[in-house]
Copies of this chain bind each other. A is one copy, B any other.
């Protein structure tokens, strides 16, 4: 299974936790993990390789060349890294048909095989939406020129149809959209994905594939869902991907939420893995 991550050196610990959860929750899957970056050092990659259980996980260093997005609109607020997701098909090896992009502030607690095998047809992406409020949906749709009935997706979990993108993606269309919308973009890459590709994106169930504390709390507080509330048992059995998006991060003291326990569980496993490895390679007395 192909996994794409993009990160800077501040997020290596979270990446180790995420990859530990990914491999533990999918023990029969081999992973090729493509790390797209502009600034990671050899030491960073050493640390990444030491931090994770590599037996089922092949780490591939993708230093994205500066030149690749030469004509792209770039400002301090919109650095080149914002194109790594949208234009994954431009720099990833040609033999890859699809890849699953995962933010590093994620843990995987159940199988993602079904998601990965999703029939994508001629769609470019699959992603889940955290926006259920009708008014917010409308505001986003107007702001970004989206078809009215489309949902604003969260791009932290993004299944990418590389084969289709290679055939039919227009780089110019994206550049033009950014140049036109510049001032209205809040989350650059996520807004662009929504604005340009809403009609080419398959909606996923956020409760299963992109569950955040905020989404869960809003869902359970909605009187419409009274008979169908999701408790920790439902989540442990049915949710595959938990996403600590926004500012409420379980590695911060200020964290408040019920889903952090999964992060702590895999954080502890990741820590022990490193311990074990460093013990097992220590010279015998």
Binding site for B on A (CB under 8 A): 28, 109-111, 232-233, 235-237, 250, 260-262, 264-265, 267-268, 271-272, 276
Which listed residue, B28, B235, B261, touches A236 by the CB 8 Å rule?
Answer: B261
Report 8 cross-chain contacts, Cβ distance below 8 Å, ordered by A residue. A28-B276, A232-B260, A235-B264, A236-B261, A237-B264, A237-B268, A261-B261, A265-B265
- Supplied contacts A110-B268, A111-B272, A236-B261, 8 more A-B pairs, CB within 8 Å: A232-B261, A232-B264, A233-B260, A235-B264, A236-B265, A237-B264, A237-B268, A265-B265
Task: Report the minimum CB–CB distance from A276 to chain B (whole Å).
Answer: 8
Q: Which residue of B lies closest to A232 (CB)?
A: B261
The residues of B that contact A250 with a CB separation of less than 8 Å are 233
A276 vs B261: C-alpha distance when bound (angstroms): 26
A111 vs B268: C-alpha distance when bound (angstroms): 11
The residues of B that contact A261 with a CB separation of less than 8 Å are 232, 236, 261
Query: Contact between A267 and B237 (Cβ–Cβ < 8 Å)?
Result: yes
A272 vs B114: C-alpha distance when bound (angstroms): 14
The 4 A-B pairs at the shortest CB distance, nearest first, are namely A236-B264, A233-B264, A232-B261, A237-B268
Which listed residue, B109, B236, B272, B276, touches A267 by the CB 8 Å rule?
Answer: B236
Task: Report the minimum CB–CB distance from A255 to chain B (whole Å).
Answer: 9
Task: Report the minimum CB–CB distance from A271 to chain B (whole Å).
Answer: 8
